[in-house]
Amino acid sequence: MPNGFSSELLHNLDMDEQNLIKRRMNVLGSSYKLMYHHPVEFVRGDGMYLYDAAGVPYLDCYNNVVSVGHCNARVAEAVARQISTLNTHTRYLHPAILDYAERLLATFPAPLKRVMFACTGSEAVDLALRIAFSHTGADGVIISEFAYHGTTMTASSVSPSLGQSVPLGQHVRTVRAPLAYREEVADVGLRLARDVEEAIDDLERHGIRFAAFLADSIFSSDGLASDPAGFLQPVIEVVHRRGGLYIADEVQPGFCRTGDAFWGFQRHHIVPDIVVMGKPMGNGMPISACVTAPDFLEQFSQCRYFNTFDGNPVSIAAAAAVLSELQERDLLKNCRTVGALLKGKLQALQKKYDCIGDIRGTGLYWSIEFVKDQKTKEPDAALTLAAVNALREAHILVSTFGLYENCMKLRPLLIMEPQHVDQFADSLDCVLERLTVQQHAVY
């Protein structure tokens, strides 16, 4: 993890922090990583901010899970009420899960009219693949080069961004994400469609039948590929012509994040075959889902399937409250308008700083790609990491991502307001001014 804490930095921290970290190392599995050179510890959250023990507010431009706000009152009340009333499972009748399912499915075009719940995005991706494999009788999967789709054995086998230690499945092929900034072709959609077709050919050459193309419509793990909206149309045409299913991983772009539409795939005017959602669905309560067409479930419904916690009344209460917040406060519109302000600020910074190679994104998901200079486009991962850590010291939360680890990831909460955009942009300006002066001093 590029933006991770290393225990070599332990001596820089105060004793309380050192003790907490040592306790972590003594009880948690060694895979657990902390963010930042100076890890953060929060004691409460409220709206756009997390607060440390000294009461210092940190502007949250990173945690897309809590998209309707930290400790959102409507969600908290719904959970508190339900957990004191009833918490069971889907093998008993309960109208709340049906009310929610009907409201959720109303956000989807036909024929996406069936939902299956799970607890995490990983589980939902895993379930989507099980459904796709059972429907097609095939298991070849195509993903993007630096995709992340989850942590189960199967989800991790389609998550190359987890690194060399996690093997891709033998039935998995990757294609380059359509990041226009580093493309040499005019039409990224056609290039991607061609690559997908070649990957299908390669699967078949190895005796593996093509089952599914699995992608996040903004390729968020690859460093963000948002434009031009519509570039996925040639891909879905190839996928369907070759007999596969198109699985849209909406864990990142879903629930209004892109500002253009409730679901990321809608920006491209395509209709996927299976849609996976998670993270912000319950504002932090573990709930996720697969939505698909009844036809694609026919084969899978021969299997016994039950997930103890899936669709439990407490998680459903949280998800229903989130949906109400999104719809009644029109956070899609807020995301679009505040996102446009943010875009303007980022473009102004790009004009000022030669180290900002590219600004791309949509709604409230943005990538700032740092380079040695705008002409060579040589990635600058060190500067990216320094900027992220400097922003943390300025009490603003963001992180890094992308194939070259040189992109700053911005995913502020959907309740962001113009003054938060100013706070972020001013802080980034200060940070870059300082860091680029230091850089020039080094050269």
Structure-token match 């020039």, residue found: 440
Q: How far is the CB of 350 from its own copies (least distance, A)?
A: 29
CB atoms within 10 A of CB 437: 10
Alpha helices in 274-380 (DSSP H): 294-297, 313-328, 331-352
Q: With contacts defined by CB under 8 A, name the span among 37-45, 196-204, 234-242, 264-272 that binds its own copies.
A: 37-45
CB closer to its own copies, 79 vs 215: 79
Judged by CB under 8 A, the residue of 48, 61, 112, 115 near its own copies is 115
For its own copies, how many residues bind (rule: CB under 8 A)?
Answer: 99
Q: How far is the CB of 192 from its own copies (least distance, A)?
A: 26
Question: Residue 422 and residue 393: Cα distance in Å, rounded?
Answer: 17
Residues 80-109 close enough to bind its own copies by CB under 8 A: 80, 83-95, 97-98, 101-102, 105
Q: Which of 397, 326, 402 is nearest to 371 (CA)?
A: 402
CB closer to its own copies, 181 vs 309: 309
Question: Residue 400 and residue 143: Cα distance in Å, rounded?
Answer: 21
φ/ψ of 183, rounded to 5, equals -90, 150
Q: How far is the CB of 66 from its own copies (least distance, A)?
A: 7
Alpha helices in 353-417 (DSSP H): 381-393
Structure-token match 């067409």, residue found: 293
Torsion angle (degrees, nearest 10) of CA 73, 78, 83, 86? 170
**Under 8 Å between Cβ of 319 and 286:** no
CB closer to its own copies, 86 vs 430: 86
Residues 6+ apart with CB under 8 A from 353: 432, 436
Q: How far is the CB of 181 from its own copies (least distance, A)?
A: 25
Under DSSP, the state recorded for 70 is B
Q: How far is the CB of 33 from its own copies (least distance, A)?
A: 6
CB closer to its own copies, 27 vs 441: 27
For residue 8, state whether it binds its own copies (rule: CB under 8 A).
Answer: no
Helix (H) or strand (E) holding 310: none
For β-strands 407-410 and 399-401, DSSP reports them as antiparallel
**Under 8 Å between Cβ of 125 and 214:** yes
Q: How far is the CB of 352 from its own copies (least distance, A)?
A: 31
**Residues comprising the chain, all counted:** 443
Residues 275-334 close enough to bind its own copies by CB under 8 A: 278-279, 284-286, 290, 292, 294, 297-298, 300-309, 312, 314-315
Q: With contacts defined by CB under 8 A, name the span among 30-38, 212-220, 355-363, 429-437 that binds its own copies.
A: 30-38
Q: How far is the CB of 48 from its own copies (least distance, A)?
A: 14
Strand order in the sheet with 399-401: 356-362, 365-370, 407-410, 399-401
Q: How far is the CB of 378 from its own copies (least distance, A)?
A: 25
Residues 235-264 close enough to bind its own copies by CB under 8 A: none
CB atoms within 10 A of CB 186: 8
For residue 20, state whether it binds its own copies (rule: CB under 8 A).
Answer: yes
Helix (H) or strand (E) holding 434: helix 418-442
- Build a one-symbol-per-residue string for 134-153: x at contacts with its own copies by CB under 8 A, - elsewhere: -----------------xxx
Residues 151-210 close enough to bind its own copies by CB under 8 A: 151-154, 156, 161-163, 165-166
Q: How far is the CB of 327 from its own copies (least distance, A)?
A: 18
Judged by CB under 8 A, the residue of 67, 107, 122, 266 near its own copies is 122
- Build a one-symbol-per-residue string for 43-82: x at contacts with its own copies by CB under 8 A, - elsewhere: xxx----x------------x-xx---xx-x-xx--xx--
CB closer to its own copies, 39 vs 183: 39
